[in-house]
Structure 1
Amino acid sequence: MAFIRVMSFGLRLGKRNLMLVFCVVFLVSLTLLLLKTGNRDQARLQGLAKCRELSQLLETKNLSGIVQFHKTANEEEQVLVIKKWKLQMKDKMILEHLLLTKECPWEANATAVAQYRAELGKCCNASFWLAVTQENAPLGSNISPDGNKGQKLPVNAELTSLLPERSPFPESQYRRCAVVGNGGILKNSRCGVEIDQADLVVRFNLPPMNFSEDVGTKTSLVTMNPSIIQNKYKSLQAQRKPFADALQPYRDALFLIPALSFVGHGVLGYRAVYTMEDFGLMQQAFFLNPRYLSTLRDYWKKQGLKPQRLSSGFMFVSMALEFCEHITLYGFWPFPHDLADQPISHHYYDNRLPKAGFHSMPSEFSHYLSMYAKGVLRLRLGKCQ
């Protein structure tokens, strides 16, 4: 009996010691976890502060500050790679800024997003002015083409018959938006699934959709430049079925045609709409309003962006800044190499180069970088999966 009592006491003492050891281990682990979390949070906050600092340097074009920023960044190897590329100095600087920016721990900045939304809403008001309607261009009025200053396009009965009564774009906000450029950097990205999860998906110039793994299948809005109608579909003066077939992947989308920006483009826009009417898609076609594009150009000119004409991508990123809470850009990349120094095609589907001097893609990309650094939008430049 005495032996049993001793053993029982030993077991109770062992359990107490075991419990004590467990408590000590738990407290030490919790302390280390809190320290690690605190250090991680501190590093994140420091990184965000540096990201904001870089954003200010980019916006104010503080070159001496940017040089100093470079000295503290561990990107020397990739900067040397970039210096081998045959680019203008300003484009090399944009890429070097990207190398710094991509190290920033990105975090959405609702205040900065709200500021863009308020400024663009005040100057441009996409929900009312983006598309030409009977409300903002009544019968008998004139439209001023943004590409031909001093010209007037009368709003006649034929044009009025093609216009919706009111804007098809709601004033309510979309939560997640994907603006999908056609850059070659999108090829092999495997971003299709992620793109299709967005509430609003914007595409440009009827791009081929047989790359679904990389570009997705969903489209909410797609642009259709008159140059595409003219060059790819022979101005719709011959067979129209190839054009109608090209629209099938976008059957549920809205089609926006900038046919009134230049005198002479209207006839191409009319033919496109009439063809869509014949194939049952007319109710989804709208003309992009030159007034919206004109006020948008003036806004960005004040921000230091002065190309001959804004690209379609930049126009609709601006639209998304009014409509969307969270914006992600895919396929926006104006350079002939990726950051691994591999050559890439201009588009994900071909290597046809744009008309020289018409747009300023690197300068626009620099503005995207600035918005990324401020937490306004995200840039997808690598693989999604």
Structure 2
Amino acid sequence: MINNMWLLYQGKWTRTIFVTMTVRRIFLSTWLVCLISLILLWVASTNPLNAIVMSYRKFDPFNASSSRLPVKSLGAPSKTNRTYINNTLETNGNLSNSTAQSVFMNAQHSQAVTSASSDTLIHIAAKAMMKKMNDLVRKMPDFEVGNGTDNFTAYVSSIFAKPWKRDVNNTWLFRFFLTKETRTTVYDELMLTQKHLKKNDKSGGIGYHKTNLFPKPPYKSCSVVGSSGILLGSQCGRVIDDKDFVIRFNLAQIKGFEEDVGYKTNVTTLNPSILRRYGRLQNASDRVKFSQSKLVEQEGLVWTSSRNSDDIRRVIDTIKLVNHSKLTLVRGNMGHFKKLNTLWKKYGVNRVQTSGFYFLNCALDLCSEVHLFGYWPFHTSLEGRTVPAHYYDGVTLNQKIHKTSDEIRLLLTMHQFGMLKLHINDCSKDNRTKIMA
């Protein structure tokens, strides 16, 4: 009897243990599944490409009230932007309008675009727009830098006979395309800071600043000012200076030309070729000549593409020598320059891009509205006036050095697509800017 009761007790205890262990296993399995699901959701939501884009653009592209660049600055309306992207996709045969509509209708106005489907669709739309641009470039009449053919001159004249319209949607799509294709943002990579220093860097950190010295975007309006003689007599000085941010090149002379080129400067470039003209500042007399002819009237940031730390150190020392407190040298990120150069090779820019074209791309990402002045690689204007290579020295255009036919084709196309306004006429006669949302 006792034995039977003992066996019965043992059986109940065994079953209790079994049930307890089973419950524990179910609980642990459920917890493990939930944990794995959460990890997978986190990985999906932090897709490398998506994270890069969204860290810079935490906004709903269809909501004009979003707080970050570029929609707030561009004022892209939700319905217009959605319709535009749908039409772009449908026209190029990538997706049907109903497919695009079903995706975008699911995007709530209170949310940022984080889904892979929306992100991919916008990227497809951006590529479709770039294809349209490339097709237009290929249809342009032939010409040579320095000498435009009659057909090309007539073609350009027809472009500038029409009033220019800023296209918010094309600008927004181009900015998205640029960020997506380079997997970075212009602001983060425009200049080298100490975060770019490698452990075994031999530069000694010369020219590497602690933080990015460029003001944070967006800039409402920007002037990108080239040095072409097309600016002579243009009366564009006031128009240039009215913009929030002004970009110039190679420490170009300003004094004496203010009426045509303005005086305001936020950043100017310094190519290694300029330093070579002054013996790379290796002796005192060259440093004096350089400071008197190039540095005295400048202000803002000096962005250099030089990789030679000794040259950079000598420039910094020369700036200190003349006690120029309004001038600061920064090192350009040539890795970012190379990324953009590689990207544009896919779209017909077969030569290494000029610093002017590079900064124009940067401006399109940093600025809501971009105006381009002083870019005209021809010996004569549309009116037949002789145009020197530079407005400040009368030097003849060197076709071997300034072979920019691919770039001018793209700039004319960007002008037609409303991404930038190319100024080649007297600014007092320019048509007023219109915005096409």
- The two structures have a TM-score, normalised by structure 1, of 0.69
Assess if the C-alpha contact under 8 Å between 1:226 and 1:269 holds in 2: no
Asked whether 1:168 is paired with 2:228, we answer: no
Asked whether 1:313 is paired with 2:356, we answer: yes
Asked whether 1:218 is paired with 2:264, we answer: yes
Partner of 2:335: 291
C-alpha displacement at 1:359, in angstroms? 4.5
Partner of 1:27: none
Residues 88 and 189 from structure 1, CA distance in 2 versus in 1: closer, same or farther, beyond 3 angstroms? closer
Look up the SS of the partner of 1:138 in the other structure: coil
Q: 1:248 aligns with which of 296, 304, 308?
A: 296
Assess if the C-alpha contact under 8 Å between 1:328 and 1:378 holds in 2: yes
Partner of 1:373: 416
C-alpha distance in structure 2 between counterparts of 1:360 and 1:302, whole Å: 18
Residues 271 and 61 from structure 1, CA distance in 2 versus in 1: closer, same or farther, beyond 3 angstroms? same
Residues 333 and 244 from structure 1, CA distance in 2 versus in 1: closer, same or farther, beyond 3 angstroms? same
C-alpha displacement at 1:139, in angstroms? 3.6
Look up the SS of the partner of 2:408 in the other structure: helix
Q: 2:172 aligns with which of 108, 111, 114?
A: 114
Partner of 1:322: 365
C-alpha distance in structure 2 between counterparts of 1:272 and 1:343, whole Å: 35
C-alpha distance in structure 1 between counterparts of 2:146 and 2:404, whole Å: 16
Long gaps (5+) in structure 2: 1-129, 429-437
Assess if the C-alpha contact under 8 Å between 1:139 and 1:157 holds in 2: no
C-alpha displacement at 1:169, in angstroms? 2.5
C-alpha distance in structure 1 between counterparts of 2:208 and 2:151, whole Å: 45
C-alpha distance in structure 2 between counterparts of 1:355 and 1:86, whole Å: 8
Q: 1:174-189 residue pairs with structure 2 within 5 A?
A: 174-189=219-234
Q: 1:125-164 residue pairs with structure 2 within 5 A?
A: 125-140=185-200, 155-156=201-202, 158=204, 160-164=205-209
Moved more, 104-113 or 210-219: 104-113
C-alpha displacement at 1:247, in angstroms? 1.3
Look up the SS of the partner of 1:135 in the other structure: helix
Partner of 1:6: none
C-alpha displacement at 1:327, in angstroms? 0.6
C-alpha distance in structure 1 between counterparts of 2:348 and 2:173, whole Å: 17
C-alpha distance in structure 2 between counterparts of 1:61 and 1:163, whole Å: 41
Partner of 2:274: 228
Partner of 2:11: none
Residues 359 and 344 from structure 1, CA distance in 2 versus in 1: closer, same or farther, beyond 3 angstroms? closer
Assess if the C-alpha contact under 8 Å between 2:146 and 2:378 holds in 1: no
Asked whether 1:352 is paired with 2:399, we answer: no
Long gaps (5+) in structure 1: 1-54, 68-78, 141-154
CA-to-aligned-CA distance 1:53-73 (integer Å, 9 cap, x gap): xx987631586x768xxxxxx
Bigger-Rg structure (1/2): 2
Residues 166 and 272 from structure 1, CA distance in 2 versus in 1: closer, same or farther, beyond 3 angstroms? same
CA-to-aligned-CA distance 1:180-207 (integer Å, 9 cap, x gap): 0000100111111111111100000111
Partner of 1:204: 249
C-alpha displacement at 1:104, in angstroms? 2.9
Identity of aligned residues (%): 28
Residues 379 and 88 from structure 1, CA distance in 2 versus in 1: closer, same or farther, beyond 3 angstroms? closer
Q: 2:135 aligns with which of 30, 38, 60?
A: 60
- The two structures have a TM-score, normalised by structure 2, of 0.61
Partner of 1:87: 147
